[in-house]
Amino acid sequence: MILVSELKAGSTIRLDNKLWRVLEIIRHAGSGQMQGFIELKLKDLEFGHFTDRRFKTTDKVEEVELKKKQMEYIYSTDEECVFMDPETYEQAGLSKNAIGKLEKFLSEGFRVTVELLNETPVAVQFPKIIEVKVASTGPGIKEAQDNTMKPAILENGLEILVPQFIETGDKIRVDTEKFKYIDRVTIKRI
């Protein structure tokens, strides 16, 4: 058990027999007769639901230590995504609910960090930035300002907004948390 005041963003805790990821910790100072409290923004690791919970600064919660292992994505079924340990070739499935929208970024051989509880996968840590190829986008408007965006469909089927100078076939960097364009990958020519 750990004091709520000692938690850090990214910690995993068990509440009501569910595993929760601590996304944000907001400390509210007390004033007068009102005691201070701590508000946690949490994400359910099994279904991906979000919630806020309030605790007294003296409350304790069960912190869960998850084992992290680099694994490769190999395929998906209707209910889960299957990952393989490249060293032992052991396979483990994780429900699509736990992965959420990030499933679109998975491609065969893609390496991610899988978090395990008693050798059972419970979550996946994606890189913050992923390089993806633009499958199709319309022509840019020559007179458009630099901040004007246009829709583009990526090779994984995801549609995002990109600047006018991006063309079909370009490789771009995408923020996996916000699903937003960051920049174009430049290829060094020798």
Domain ranges, residue 143: 129-184
Above pLDDT 70, what percent of the chain? 94
Among 78, 102, 125, which residue terminates a domain?
125
* Residue 189 in domain: no
pLDDT band at 188 (very low <50, low <70, confident <90, very high): low
d(CA 157, CA 161): 13
CA dihedral 16→17→19→23, nearest 10 degrees, is: 10
pLDDT band at 164 (very low <50, low <70, confident <90, very high): confident
Question: Where is the domain boundary, 76, 95, 125?
Answer: 125
Q: Do residue 97 and residue 110 come from a single domain?
A: yes
pLDDT at 145: 60
Residue found under tokens 């996996």 = 176
Residue at which a domain ends, from 63, 95, 111: 63
What mean pLDDT is predicted for residues 137-160? Answer: 80
H or E, element range at 96: helix 96-99
Q: What is the pLDDT of residue 52?
A: 92
Check whether 129 has a pLDDT greater than 70.
yes
**Residue 173: its pLDDT value, please?**
92
What average pLDDT does the segment 43-53 reach?
A: 84
CATH of the domain at 87: 2.40.50.140
Is residue 190 in a domain?
no
CATH number of the domain to which 14 belongs: 2.30.30.30
What number is the average pLDDT over the span 5-19? 87
Strands (E) across the chain are located at: 2-3, 12-15, 18-28, 37-44, 50-56, 60-63, 67-76, 80-84, 91-95, 111-117, 120-125, 129-137, 149-154, 159-163, 171-175, 180-184
User: Binning pLDDT at 50, 70 and 90, where does residue 33 land?
Assistant: confident
Position 6 confidence tier, pLDDT thresholds 50, 70, 90: confident
* pLDDT mean across residues, the chain: 85
User: Is residue 42 in a domain?
Assistant: yes
Instruction: Please say if the pLDDT value at position 81 is more than 70.
Output: yes
Give the pLDDT band of residue 189 (cuts 50, 70, 90): low
Residues 37 and 71 in one domain: no
pLDDT tops 80 at residue 42? yes
Identify the helix (H) or strand (E) that includes residue 158: none
- CA distances 116 to 113, 151, 175, Å, are 10, 37, 25
